[in-house]
Amino acid sequence: MTGPLLLAEGVTKVFKTSRWPATPLRTVAIDDVSLRIEPGESVGIAGESGSGKSTLIGAFCGLVRPDRGSIQLRGKDVYRGRRFDRRAWRSMQLVFQDPYTSLNPAMTVEQNVAEPLRFWKRLDDAAARRAARELLELVGLGGTVAERRPASLSGGQRQRVSIARALAAEPELLLLDESVSALDVSVQAQILELLMRVRAERDLTQVLVSHDISVLQLVCDRVIVMQAGRIVEECSARDLTVEKVSEPYTRQLLEAVPTLRAPSAPLPQGD
């Protein structure tokens, strides 16, 4: 296929919060944003809290319907009338910062991963359980973890389960919203290493949202920086240095974060 995987043009979202009897409050969460993502790319989105990062990726995958603009996946509009395209729904999977948001605490880890396999791939129980075990192996969770419930796992293990669950739909685009932000630095590095591995093995395109620009430097090809709902900088991850960036705001972000180094040897899986 030629052409971008995802093409967003002039996307705008205004939230209106009713404060009756006062004048309703308008928040322009994203303001005329255009972005092109090529197949196989890993794109980072940085920016301070409230700059519109989550709203933008929410708009990509159907969580937030934009007021204006268009979003196309492989040349096809994802919003069609009042509906969100079913293929796009499967093709774009979101992983949140807090794994509890997407995991069912009453189900075992295996059941959590098997559920989307039954739904998307129409597998019967036995096949879904087998495929769930394979996915759990892929994300580094072998042994007895499959039988446990999410509450008994560490934060890093839970995030691995969320990633396995997202991969169950066989997405083309993985959207990660601050997915490593709540983890301590060494576990964060292990999950980033996992993301780089599954991206290569599964031919995935990834969009990673993080307020920590050093995370994006490590795993992304290209980084965009948002401020007040707009893209203020777009550059290759290589050029994301204080010396090379053009925006004073990006420079501020770069100066504000501690440096995270790439692991020189494979890290143990013991998170």
Ligand X SMILES: Nc1ncnc2c1ncn2[C@@H]1O[C@H](COP(=O)(O)OP(=O)(O)OP(=O)(O)O)[C@@H](O)[C@H]1O
**Residue numbers at the binding site for Mg ion (CB under 5 A):** 54
Encoded tokens for 253: 């972000």
Q: What is the smallest separation between the CB atom of 46 and ligand X, expressed in angstroms?
A: 9
Residues 198-257 that bind ligand X (CB under 6 A): 211
52 contacts ligand X (rule: CB under 6 A): yes
Which stretch in 43-51, 133-141, 183-191, 257-265 sits in contact with ligand X by CB under 6 A? Answer: 43-51
Q: Which residue has the tokens 């959207």?
A: 175
- C-beta closer to Mg ion: residue 54 or 91: 54
Which stretch in 47-55, 80-88, 139-147, 191-199 sits in contact with ligand X by CB under 6 A? Answer: 47-55
Which stretch in 48-56, 86-94, 187-195, 235-243 sits in contact with ligand X by CB under 6 A? Answer: 48-56
- Contact pattern from residue 55 through residue 94 relative to ligand X, giving x for each residue in contact according to CB under 6 A and a dash for the rest: x---------------------------------------
Q: What is the smallest separation between the CB atom of 17 and ligand X, expressed in angstroms?
A: 5
Give which of Mg ion, ligand X, none residue 44 binds (C-beta under 5 to 8 Å, depending on kind): none
Q: What is the smallest separation between the CB atom of 258 and ligand X, expressed in angstroms?
A: 18
Residue 19 is inside which H or E element, if any?
Answer: none
Q: What is the smallest separation between the CB atom of 261 and ligand X, expressed in angstroms?
A: 24
Q: How far, in Å, CA of 163 to CA of 205, rounded?
A: 14
Which residues does 241 contact at the CB level (< 8 Å), separation at least 6?
A: 254
- C-beta closer to ligand X: residue 49 or 144: 49
φ, ψ for residue 46, nearest 5 deg: -115, 165
| Binder of ligand X out of 27, 152, 154, 236 (CB under 6 A) | 27
| Binder of ligand X out of 9, 39, 40, 50 (CB under 6 A) | 50
Which stretch in 44-52, 151-159, 246-254, 259-267 sits in contact with ligand X by CB under 6 A? Answer: 44-52
Is the separation of the CB atoms in 12 and 32 below 8 Å? yes
- Between β-strands 92-95 and 83-84, what pairing exists: parallel, antiparallel or unpaired? unpaired
Does residue 24 come out as left (phi exceeding 0), alpha (psi in the -120 to 50 range) or beta?
Answer: beta
The interaxial angle of helices 185-202 and 155-167, nearest 10 deg, is 20
Q: How far, in Å, CA of 131 to CA of 125, rounded?
A: 10
Peptide bond into 171 cis (omega under 30): no
Closest CA to 169 of 132, 130, 127, 208: 132
| Binder of ligand X out of 5, 8, 42, 54 (CB under 6 A) | 54
SS3 call for 175: strand
Residue 81 is inside which H or E element, if any?
Answer: none
Residue ranges that bind ligand X, judged by CB under 6 A: 15, 17, 27, 29, 47, 49-55, 211
